[in-house]
């Protein structure tokens, strides 16, 4: 029985290590504690070239999006604008927001159009400089998304991607990920306060990230049956091996007696 347990543990470790080593094509691989490459440069909606080290000097909410997205980016940024209104923090002093397009084909003029639209929905006093809308070339974009563990891929003139905010400290250290398109203002406030103090906090939504994937046709997150079935099959094989080993052991015990 003891050997059977050891075999099962060994089997599960091998199985889950294979899943862990599989490269993520689309989704989030949290890089908590990593520091963003602060020398990367992007263009503002006004066409000015800036480096991350020039703009990240306070707790920052980074939204990795593309502005012409027909799916989750628009509702996520609308929700972000609503959250800014509800946050009990001072924009420009306690925090700032930076949206960065991961579509290198988008231009500053596209960013400017969407910035204007989102700022119109903010009711509190808000300086436009406290929410930057950036675009960049493919090299800088991919260096940034890789550093954030944000993986996306083109699909039928669109992109398959996850919806997330990344909170970073004034030094550019990744502090927390906030997934989805609905935000709790209190949670966002706490994430920003943690970023200010340099703390990191993993999210429990890793389970959701593992089980759900984005359906570009339905433009919604759907249960990833393939992954779940794969895990169930692995567990089934493991249980089968245990039963088989136990039967063999019982047969040998009977033969000896």
What pLDDT shows up at residue 234? 65
- Please identify which residue in the block is written with the tokens 């009711």: 123
Q: Is the sign of the CA dihedral 70, 76, 80, 81 positive or negative?
A: positive
- What is the band of 57 on the pLDDT scale with cuts at 50, 70, 90? very high
Q: Is the pLDDT of residue 215 over 50?
A: no
Q: Is the pLDDT of residue 213 over 60?
A: no
Q: Is the sign of the CA dihedral 175, 176, 177, 178 positive or negative?
A: negative
CA-wise closest residue to 110 among 80, 91, 127, 135: 135
pLDDT tens-digit series, residues 2-26:
555 555 555 555 554 444 445 677 8
What pLDDT shows up at residue 231? 58
**Cβ atoms of 103 and 71 closer than 8 Å:** no
CA 124 to CA 80: how far, in whole Å? Answer: 13
Q: Is the pLDDT of residue 161 over 50?
A: yes
Residue 166's DSSP bridge partners are 62, 177
Please state, rounded to an integer, the average pLDDT across all residues of the chain.
Answer: 81
Please, what are the domains in the chain? 2-21+224-256 (no CATH), 31-202 (3.40.30.10)
Q: Any idea what the Cα angle at residue 87 is, between residues 47 and 51, rounded to 5°?
A: 25
CA 95 to CA 55: how far, in whole Å? Answer: 12
Please give the DSSP secondary-structure letter assigned to residue 57.
Answer: -
CA 115 to CA 101: how far, in whole Å? Answer: 12
CA 165 to CA 177: how far, in whole Å? Answer: 6
Give the mean model confidence (pLDDT) for residues 151-169: 89
CA 125 to CA 111: how far, in whole Å? Answer: 21
CA–chain centroid gap for 55, Å, is 21
Q: Among the listed ranges 37-46, 187-196, 199-208, 242-251, which one has the minimum average pLDDT value?
A: 199-208
Q: Is the pLDDT of residue 244 over 90?
A: no
Q: Is the pLDDT of residue 211 over 50?
A: no
What pLDDT shows up at residue 140? 97
Q: Is the pLDDT of residue 230 over 70?
A: no
CA 109 to CA 97: how far, in whole Å? Answer: 19
φ and ψ at residue 55, rounded to 5 degrees: -115, -25
- Residue percentage of the chain with pLDDT more than 70: 72
φ and ψ at residue 42, rounded to 5 degrees: -140, 170
What pLDDT shows up at residue 125? 92
Gap between the terminal Cα atoms of the chain: 18
What pLDDT shows up at residue 252? 66
pLDDT tens-digit series, residues 103-144:
999 999 999 999 999 999 999 999 999 999 999 999 999 999
* Token digits of residue 213: 């994937």
What pLDDT shows up at residue 193? 93
What pLDDT shows up at residue 229? 53
């Amino acid at each position: 029985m003891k050997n059977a347990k050891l075999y099962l543990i060994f089997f599960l470790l091998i199985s889950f290590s294979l899943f862990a080593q599989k490269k993520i094509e689309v989704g989030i691989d949290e890089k908590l504690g990593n520091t963003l490459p602060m020398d990367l440069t992007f263009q503002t909606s006004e066409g000015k070239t800036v480096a991350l080290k020039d703009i990240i000097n306070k707790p920052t909410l980074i939204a990795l999006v593309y502005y012409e997205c027909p799916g989750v980016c628009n509702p996520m940024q609308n929700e972000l604008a609503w959250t800014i209104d509800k946050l009990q923090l001072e924009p420009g002093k306690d925090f700032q927001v930076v949206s960065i397009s991961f579509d290198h084909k988008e231009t500053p003029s596209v960013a400017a159009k969407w910035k204007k639209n989102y700022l119109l929905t903010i009711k509190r006093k808000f300086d436009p400089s406290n929410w930057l809308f950036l675009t960049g070339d493919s090299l800088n974009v991919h260096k940034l998304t890789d550093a954030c563990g944000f993986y996306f891929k083109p699909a039928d003139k669109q992109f398959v991607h996850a919806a997330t905010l990344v909170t970073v400290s004034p030094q550019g250290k990744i502090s927390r990920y906030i997934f989805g398109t609905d935000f709790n203002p209190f949670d966002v406030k706490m994430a920003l306060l943690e970023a200010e103090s340099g703390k990191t906090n993993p999210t429990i939504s890793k389970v959701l990230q593992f089980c759900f994937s984005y359906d570009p046709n339905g433009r919604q997150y759907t249960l990833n049956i393939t992954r779940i079935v794969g895990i169930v099959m692995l567990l089934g094989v493991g249980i089968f091996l245990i039963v088989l080993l136990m039967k063999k052991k019982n047969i040998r015990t009977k033969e000896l007696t």
